[in-house]
Structure 1
Amino acid sequence: MGFEEKMILNGEPEDEEEEEEEEEDMVDPIDATRQKCAETHHCVHYKEKLEQCESRVGSRSATTEDCTEELFDFLHARDHCVSDQLFHSVK
């Protein structure tokens, strides 16, 4: 029995490829939870404020205004929702 036949019988090259593919299919639960939380009533309010600010700032040619406060408000509301829900899905 040659070296190539042993490799085929042991299945080492094929097994490694299959294991790597399986690991790539894993989904981080925080991504789905963030999306779900961003659509809640509380977060939608802050998201609308952020979008209004972005359109206001984008419509002006010379402004020093940025939307940092609105962004932080939205992220804070979303992350608060995520923190309430995320640990229920962690094993």
Structure 2
Amino acid sequence: MVFEEKTIMHGEPDDEEEEEEEQEMDPIETVRQTCAETEHCVQTREHLEQCETRVGSRSSTQENCTEELFDFLHARDHCVAHKLFHSVK
């Protein structure tokens, strides 16, 4: 049984390792991070965080932060759409 464990551990790379390598090379993540730091995205993220704080501080509320989340994602994706294809080969 010990031999089987060693074979499994020293065999082919795990799927997780392959996924990590693919994610590191994905240019969209880099562009998303860059776009999230722009002024408009920072403002929409602040509105989202304020909403989350407000909703989280209440024990019973009908409010959710869906609109603020969509506003942030829209602002970020709008920026990404203009920059992403310049980095794709």
Structure 1 gap segments, 5+ residues each: 1-15
Deviations 1:32-89 (A, max 9, x none): 1101100100100000000000000000000010000000000000000000000000
SS, match of residue 25 in structure 1: helix
Alignment-mate amino acid for residue 86 of structure 1: L
Distance 1:68 1:89, change over 3 A: same
| Identical-residue share of aligned pairs (%) | 73
Equivalent residue, structure 1, for 2:78: 80
Equivalent residue, structure 1, for 2:52: 54
Separation (CA, whole Å) in 1 of partners of 2:80 and 2:44: 15
Separation (CA, whole Å) in 2 of partners of 1:23 and 1:52: 34
Equivalent residue, structure 2, for 1:25: 21
Instruction: Tell me the number of residue pairs that the alignment of Structure 1 and Structure 2 aligns.
Output: 73
Alignment-mate amino acid for residue 66 of structure 1: N
Distance 1:70 1:25, change over 3 A: same
Q: Which runs of 4+ in 1 moved over 4 A?
A: 21-24
RMSD of Structure 2 on Structure 1 (CA): 1.9
Q: How far apart are 1:24 and its partner, in Å?
A: 5.4
TM-score between both structures, scaled by the size of structure 1: 0.73
Separation (CA, whole Å) in 1 of partners of 2:19 and 2:53: 40
Structure 2 gap segments, 5+ residues each: 1-11
